[in-house]
Structure 1
Amino acid sequence: MTAVACLRVDVSGHGDLMPLPTLEQLVHKFASAYLETRWSWPRRFAPLTDVSFLLTDPRSDELDLAELRRLSDELQRHLFGTAEEGEVALLVFEGTHAAVTAFAALDSRQVVEALADPSLLPAGGRLTRILPECRGGGDGSAEPTPDAEKGAEWRPAPSLKRQLLEPLPPPPPAWEGVQGVYFIPRGVFYGDVVMYVPQNARTHLCVVDGAEHMPKEPSAFDADCVRIAARLLSERAKGSLIFVPISFTSLARPSLRDAYVALLAELPVERRSELAATIYDVPRDPAFTGLRQARALLEPHFGTIDLRVSDPGFEIEKLPPESVNSVTLVLPEGDDHVRLAALRRFADHLVHYKQRRIWPGVTNVRRRAEVEAAARLRVPFVTGPGVCTPVPAPVGGRSLPPERLPMSLSGWMHVRDRSLAS
């Protein structure tokens, strides 16, 4: 068994010694450095927020709470010395992927409320609270539940066993999520693009946030995205489109084609209408033979096919009508002038998109001005960090006025809680 948990640093008892964002940045810097040197391989960690980390230990079915208590002790001394004002506690939460993600997304106020009322903890998880030895009585024990009579799932766990919904191939992504595809004319999220954070990575991998987030090993990235998409489908009855990244270059390599055939077989054929293949690294003038081969491989598994291109002068005129469902421009790196000029040049060809009944879109959108420009130029679909940051579950089907973009993790939590309440 592999021990898996979310470690969250609780500084709610900091005594107002400094602004909370400043304190959280210090916590992130110190805790990351500590885990980098102490949480050694084959154990792994990945940051989820400034104050929370995903920890795994494949050699054991329980985390070393004594070692984590040393982190609590060192954080206490580093941030507050031996003063009486502040207190650092570590919250170790184990559960399903959704529960762990929801716990990491709680803000400081919600954490305080959950500590007072454990019934507010995300369902499907368990929580252990660790105080520094220098502040917790010196016996080195984890703090027991403050209100066990309520029957909440707050208790020191004798064994922190992995309880993810389904096993993932090693090494699994540290965090799985999506980023919404927004349809400007109706102010609604049309679907979601799969993304994830690799183990021990500094940032996430995706095809909507620009060059620094693109995968260095496309075939491995595609494989993980296919498995994430299959999991998302298994967790819902029916929903909006899930866009799965697929590398054009990899599909064009005969040596990889059989591997992709086996990989795509993991997707349920009966859910084909809910799946879209978003083909990235497409050249300016893709050979028709290569595009036809890609479609033949993908169409049995995907009801929608999208091409992602980096050239605003992509020769859409050479594509046959309805040969794909959409073409999405990746905005280039550079200043506002360069990016908006690329968007305008792309929009100059919209008449050809309309003639071929192919939808245009734009991705790597980072600023509100770019959303507004896309609306003004009649480019209907937008994605990117200025539209939707990584969130743990699909947002497709949800309405949001353009002026309230981007959808963020906190916004996703607010909408989810409102939906549950209704």
Structure 2
Amino acid sequence: MTALACLRIFVGADLCFTDTDSMAALVAKVAGAYLETTWKWPRRYGLVAPFSFVLADPRAERLDARELQDLARALQHKLFGDQGDGDVTLLTFEGDQTDVMRFAGATALQLKGLLDGEDDGAFAGRVCKITPTDVSSVAPPGGPVAGEPPMEALRAQEHMVAPARTAYRGVFHTQREVFVGNISVWREAGSVSVFGMEPPAADASEAGHDIPNLESARRALEGETSGVMFFPISFSTLVKPSARAELTPYLETLPQASRARLAAAVYDTPRAPSFSALSQMKQYLNPFFGRIDLRVSDPAFQVDDLPPDLASSVTLMLPTGVEAVRLAAISRFMRDAAGYRRKRIWQGVTDVRNRREVNACIELGVPFITGPGVTDLLETPAHVSPCSALHLPLHDWSARVTGAAASQVA
């Protein structure tokens, strides 16, 4: 039971979109501030296009349109003042995922009938029209605007704080266009992710998070029978005897039957690690993991110096900073593709943040990619499933395809 809707915001005296970045940014800021205080966890929301949000509530079967009237009033006041000449109108659409995303990308002209309060049948679902003074059902005409359960019942529920937990980023095979696994990402208590509205930031990995992340993600394995699960482990932990001793009891709880699809994602790997450190790491991890992924920050990582059969993959963590620097790092990393093939080591890129970076990885032949441009931070692992690159990123509200469509994981 998860209610899913697209929220479209129309501004201007003629109820048309104002096609300016400044107006879109202001609307996003006002709407984001409202949703941050009212649309709390376990609800999810995200900005999927200018003036378009997706709202999801796992506690409801139908969203309550009345709850969004305060947003219409806040936008009206912020944009036009109490006596302004402009108008604000919100449309909410509830239907299947395909129609929700189609609604998010529709033009104002395509939605003119709905804005006029008439259902032209273009979208099969529930549509409500919300203004600062009125809330009405457009489709079905005269239908209910209250939710199931209504907003009064939801507000009476005890406020929930997001617990400390593991979230997931799906690992995407670009050539086969299929999700092949997940990497676990630790989230502190109270942390939520809001797609499209948070400043770009890499998924932080800290040695202190490795053990709770390992425990949490291990439990998720019980419900996932296919696909690779990557567990982040600090390189520094693996070269310190005391840190290894602390980690060992938790590694011993990993299911041996799943070893072939378990991968150690060794982050903060130096540019030129010593042979002895790598050998020690391999010997320690081998009983628990079927794969070792070295996570590096240097696109010129010395792959030719790696001992044979030490790692199955090397993944580049993109640098922070401007997009041009990040794109240049992808290009430099893939310049050594022939060397990686000779070593029979897969290449991957993580922290891929947007469509341009996804496209660059595909064009340059990066086999595996992860990051916000590939999936949102997911509350449950992405299933092994086909997915067109055009449909990235995957969200918690996205339809999850199950089955063995990609049972062979390279």
Q: TM-score, normalised to structure 1's length?
A: 0.60
1:330 maps to amino acid: M
- Asked if 1:190 is matched to 2:177, the reply is no
List runs of 5+ in structure 1 lacking aligned partners. Answer: 1-5, 36-43, 55-71, 82-106, 122-126, 132-141, 144-155, 163-170
Could you say which residue in structure 1 is the equivalent of 2:337? 350
2:399 maps to amino acid: M
Picking from 359, 380, 391, the partner of 1:372 is 359
Structure 1 Cα separation of the partners of residues 342 and 270 of structure 2 = 22
Could you say which residue in structure 2 is the equivalent of 1:173? 164
- Asked if 1:220 is matched to 2:211, the reply is no
Work out whether residues 183 and 189 of structure 1, in 8 Å CA contact, stay in contact via their aligned partners in 2: yes
List runs of 5+ in structure 2 lacking aligned partners. Answer: 17-23, 47-54, 59-66, 78-102, 105-124, 129-138, 406-410
Could you say which residue in structure 2 is the equivalent of 1:332? 319
Cα 1:193/1:268, change in 2 over 3 Å: same
Secondary structure of the residue aligned to 2:226 is coil
Within a 5 Å distance, the mapping from 1:1-150 to structure 2 comes to 29=33, 48-49=44-45, 129=150, 131=152
1:399 maps to amino acid: P
Could you say which residue in structure 2 is the equivalent of 1:400? 387
Secondary structure of the residue aligned to 1:228 is helix
Could you say which residue in structure 2 is the equivalent of 1:295? 282
2:179 maps to amino acid: F
2:284 maps to amino acid: L
Could you say which residue in structure 2 is the equivalent of 1:387? 374
2:293 maps to amino acid: D
Within a 5 Å distance, the mapping from 1:260-279 to structure 2 comes to 260-279=247-266
Could you say which residue in structure 2 is the equivalent of 1:250? 237
2:183 maps to amino acid: V
Structure 2 Cα separation of the partners of residues 363 and 376 of structure 1 = 16
Structure 2 Cα separation of the partners of residues 355 and 331 of structure 1 = 24
Work out whether residues 197 and 203 of structure 1, in 8 Å CA contact, stay in contact via their aligned partners in 2: no
Shift of residue 305 of structure 1?
0.8
Could you tell me the percent identity over the aligned residues? 31
Shift of residue 394 of structure 1?
2.5
2:203 maps to amino acid: H
1:341 maps to amino acid: A
- Asked if 1:313 is matched to 2:303, the reply is no
1:413 maps to amino acid: A
Structure 2 Cα separation of the partners of residues 11 and 190 of structure 1 = 29
Cα 1:298/1:408, change in 2 over 3 Å: same
Could you say which residue in structure 1 is the equivalent of 2:271? 284
Structure 1 Cα separation of the partners of residues 401 and 327 of structure 2 = 31
Structure 1 Cα separation of the partners of residues 305 and 215 of structure 2 = 33
Could you say which residue in structure 1 is the equivalent of 2:190? 200
Q: TM-score, normalised to structure 2's length?
A: 0.62
Work out whether residues 190 and 397 of structure 1, in 8 Å CA contact, stay in contact via their aligned partners in 2: yes
Cα 1:191/1:110, change in 2 over 3 Å: farther
Work out whether residues 352 and 371 of structure 2, in 8 Å CA contact, stay in contact via their aligned partners in 1: yes
Cα 1:333/1:31, change in 2 over 3 Å: closer
Shift of residue 211 of structure 1?
5.5
Higher helix share: 1
